[in-house]
Amino acid sequence: MSATDRREAAQPAPPCAMVIFGANGDLTKRLVVPALYNLSRSNLLPERFALIGVDHGDRSTETWKAALHDFLEQSVKSPDSEFEGKAIDADAWGRVANAMRYVKGDFLDPKLYAALGDVLQKLDAQEKLGGAVLFYLAVADRFFEPVAEQLGKAGLVRAEGAGWRRLIVEKPFGHSLQSAKALNAHLLQWLHEDQIYRIDHFLGKETVQNIMAFRFASGLFEPVWNRDRIDHVQITVAESIGVEKRGSFYEATGALRDMVPNHLFQLVAMTAMEPPVSFDADAVRSQKVDVFKATRAVGAHDAVRGQYGGGHIAGTAVNPYREEFRVAPDSDTETFVAMRLNIDNWRWAGVPFYLRTGKRMAKRTTEIAIRFKPAPIALFRGTGVDQMNADWLILQIQPDEGIRLRLNAKRPGPVVALESVAMDFKYADWFHRQPAVGYETLLYDCFMGDATLFQRADQVEAAWAVVQPLLDAWNSTVPSGFPNYNAGSDGPRSADELLARDGRTWRQIR
């Protein structure tokens, strides 16, 4: 069933078991189980379902359930809750809770997989699940390969004869082109590509999914969506949070690896891809891969890095990166990156895509800003108007989700004067807001076998190939002048210089 067919007919997913490795981890608690609960509220959870949590901690099914229930309850009650109603829907939770089983085991121990096989067989017969199983790797990435290997050796991911078997793999998908290729090769030893669902949670965001609708479901913008009418594109993923308690992860990762070949590139792909011939997963994903195949590899000349010093965010003083928990006092890890991408194809040749992302910036905002080429000044020459304001289209991904078009308007009065005004569409005003943590669609799609929103192996590798020269260059040189931007600012001056070279400026992060 294609994405369009099944979304029109949204109905409970087919019977299956779901096995979460990392049952006691943060991801399970904060995102996966709340998303299952939301699916249950919308009657989209499989009606016959088993949810098996695997982890090494000493827990019973009852204590596992209780821990997840308590966390969900706290989130529901919290004032900034995404959930409606401020109370857990007992029926919806009951459907999730009744499906739950906890299995204790060491991810590296073959005995765990034998035990898991028995549990799956029993639940399958009891609940009539047809042999379908979704495995979820909600574990540290060092476990991706061993768990896949053990599943393979135990025969648990062989679909033949049984129902379907699928595996969800979380970020990070490799740390470099080489390690991403090795991970793909390893997984493909045990599973077929169409069984592997590589999650990038940015594709779970409604506003990101909407880019396809915006571009391809109306005839207005697509004809101008090219180098004839677009001057350049700016993609900003600014965060006001710092690295929080993730210092040791971040020290080994940095902003470039953490955000660019994955999240920012998803936004690039959605913005730059050619129209696919259908919503078929491979048709869509092939167009995305082509974007990165056409993108020139980025070297140090086309990028800048930064690290935050101290400063103020929303009036509160915050520490410099080098004083964060588990961060080296002389750390050279970048917390900010900006780059210029050149997509060498007929649509985009000569239209730079400028990307920037950073921690501890002035404000949390994720946007794709498209700057159109200016109209000729001719008509207005001699009227006192000496320059046209640019026309911008801004896809506001988060927060304040919406789409804004900035155009010139005549300021009322006898004098000819132009002012940039905004036409605004806000999701919150138009659509009834559904409580969501952002994993609902992704999980539902896995249950349904729709891989459109998941990354294929070749996309992951093509994306790493674009940034690998930059990673190499930065690994072999010590950045100078770190920290080079204040917390609460728009990033380092060098980022402004990157655009100034092309006679352009960043939009303000405000």
Shortest Cβ 121–ligand BG6 spacing (Å):
36
Q: What is the spatial distance between Cα 431 and Cα 292, in angstroms, rounded to a whole number?
A: 33
What track of x and - describes contact with ligand BG6 for positions 222 through 241 (by CB under 6 A)? -----------------x--
Pick the catalytic residue: 232, 263, 312, 432?
Answer: 263
Interface pick for ligand BG6 out of 171, 293, 493, 504 (rule CB under 6 A): 171
Give the Cα separation of 502 and 435 in Å (integer).
Answer: 43
Euclidean distance between CA atoms 317 and 305, whole angstroms: 23
* Identity of the residue, 266 or 452, whose beta carbon is nearer to ligand BG6 in the bound complex: 266
Q: DSSP E strands: which ranges in 200-307? A: 230-238, 303-306
* CA-CA-CA-CA torsion sign (381, 383, 385, 386): positive
Annotation marks residue 432 as catalytic: no
Site string for ligand BG6, 172-211 (x = CB under 6 A): -----------------------------x----------
Which residue's Cβ has the minimum distance to ligand BG6?
A: 258
Q: Which is nearer to ligand BG6, 147 or 260 (CB)?
A: 260
Cβ 199 to ligand BG6, closest distance in Å?
Answer: 10
Residue 201 CA to residue 256 CA, distance in Å, equals 17
Provide, rounded to whole angstroms, the least separation between the CB of residue 44 and ligand BG6: 22
Which residues contact residue 11 at a Cβ distance below 8 angstroms, ignoring those fewer than 6 apart? Answer: 44
Q: Should residue 7 be labelled a site residue for ligand BG6 when binding is judged by CB under 6 A?
A: no
∠ CA 36-42-45, rounded to 5°: 45
- The span from the CA of 202 to the CA of 267, in Å, is 8
Integer Cα distance of 342 and 351 in angstroms: 7
Helix (H, G, I), strand (E, B) or coil at 13: coil
Number of residues that bind ligand BG6 (CB under 6 A): 4
Q: Which residues contact 476 (CB under 8 A, 6 or more apart)?
A: none
**Nearer CB in complex with ligand BG6: 250/447:** 250
Residues 6+ apart with CB under 8 A from 46: 12, 13, 14, 15, 16, 447
Of positions 258, 334, 391, 401, contacts ligand BG6 by CB under 6 A: 258
Torsion over CA: 332, 333, 339, 341 (sign): positive
Helix (H) or strand (E) holding 406: strand 402-410
Q: 459: Cβ–Cβ under 8 A, 6 or more apart, which residues?
A: 269, 285, 288, 289, 292
* Residue closest to 254 by CA, chosen among 319, 334, 309, 320: 334
Q: Which residues are catalytic?
A: 263
The site for ligand BG6 (CB under 6 A) is made up of 171, 201, 239, 258
